[in-house]
Amino acid sequence: MRERFFKPRLHFAGFTELNAWLLEQCVSYAKGHPHPERRDSPVWEMFEAERPSLVPHVAPFDGFHARAASVSKTCLVQFNKNRSSVMAQAVGRPVEVHAYADRIVVRQDGGVIASHDRCFGREQTVYDPWHYIPVLARKPGAMRNGAPFKDWVLPGALGRVRQKLKGAPDGDRQMVKILSAALTDGLPAVEAACSEALGAGLCSSDVVLNALSRQRQPEPPPAIAVPDALVLRQQPVADCARYDTLRRMPHGTA
C-alpha cells in the first residue's frame, strides 16, 4: 500500500486532508480489485456484504506506538533520538511512551505525566518548564540560567510580576513560590492573584499568595447529626406582636 499510494511523495496541509485522500484511494482500490478468496467479486462488494455483521466502533481510534522508557535525573525521556521532559516526580521510575502521529504522550501508573508535540528531528530536547517547578523549590537560581527556562515567556500578569521581582534580592525565591502555587491552584487563579497585587501597587510572593488564599472557596462545614429528641416538632413563628403581649403582663412596663 505504501508503494502504491505514496510514490511519488505527496504533500498535504494536515492529517485531516491526508486521511480524506487516503480513504478515497482505499475505496477506489477496493472497488477495482477482486477479493483474494472470491475472485469473481471485488473487495468492496464483499465488504458491503459483511458490513451489517461488523461491530460498530464508536470511539476514535487511539493509534500509537508504545515503548517502555526510563526517566533520567534531569527529568528527560528519550524516544526516537530525541529527549522530552516529564514531571519531576517521575524520576527513577519506568514510564511508557505513546508516540502518535503528531504528539508524544508519556504515562506512568496510568496517568499522563507529559505531552509534547512530536519532534521529527534528531538529537533535540523538548522542555516544558512547568515540569521543573518542584526542582526550582530547591534551586531557585536555576530559573535564570537553567536550560528549561531559557526564553520562557510567562503569560499576562504573571509575566509582569516576574519582571518586577527580578530586581529584588530574593526575587527568584519569591517567584518560585508563586509558580509552585500554580501547580495546586491552577494558572488562572494565580494570574488573577497577580493582577490583584499589581492593581494594589504591591509585588511580592506574600501579597500574591495572600490574594490567592482569599480567592479559595471555604469548604462547607461537616453536617452534624441531630438526635430525634432535639428535632423541632413545631417551627417557631416570626411574630413580633408576641412582645406586646409580654408588655401587658403585670410584671411588664406597660
Q: Stretch 177-184: mean pLDDT, rounded?
A: 92
Q: Stretch 237-244: mean pLDDT, rounded?
A: 81
Q: What is the pTM of this model?
A: 0.68
Q: Stretch 17-40: mean pLDDT, rounded?
A: 91
In three-state form (DSSP H/G/I as H, E/B as E, the rest C), the secondary structure along 148-213 is HHCCCCCCHHHHHHHHHHCCCCCHHHHHHHHHHHHHHHCHHHHHHHHHHHHHCCCCCHHHHHHHHH
SS3 36: coil
pLDDT > 90: percent of the chain: 46
Name residue 78's beta-bridge partners: 83
Q: Stretch 39-68: mean pLDDT, rounded?
A: 90
β-strand pairing of 111-117 with 65-69: unpaired
Write down the pLDDT at residue 115. 95
Is the C-alpha dihedral spanning 112, 114, 118, 121 positive or negative?
negative
Does residue 123 have a pLDDT over 70?
A: yes
Model pLDDT for residues 56-93, shown as the tens digit of each residue: 888 888 889 999 999 999 999 999 899 999 999 899 88
251 pLDDT tier (thresholds 50, 70, 90)? low
Contact 210, 177 (CB under 8 A): no
Model pLDDT for residues 198-208, shown as the tens digit of each residue: 998 888 999 99
Does residue 112 have a pLDDT over 70?
A: yes
Sorted by where each begins, the domain ranges of the chain are 9-53, 65-126, 132-215
Q: Stretch 154-161: mean pLDDT, rounded?
A: 90
| Cell numbers at 36, concatenated | 483474494
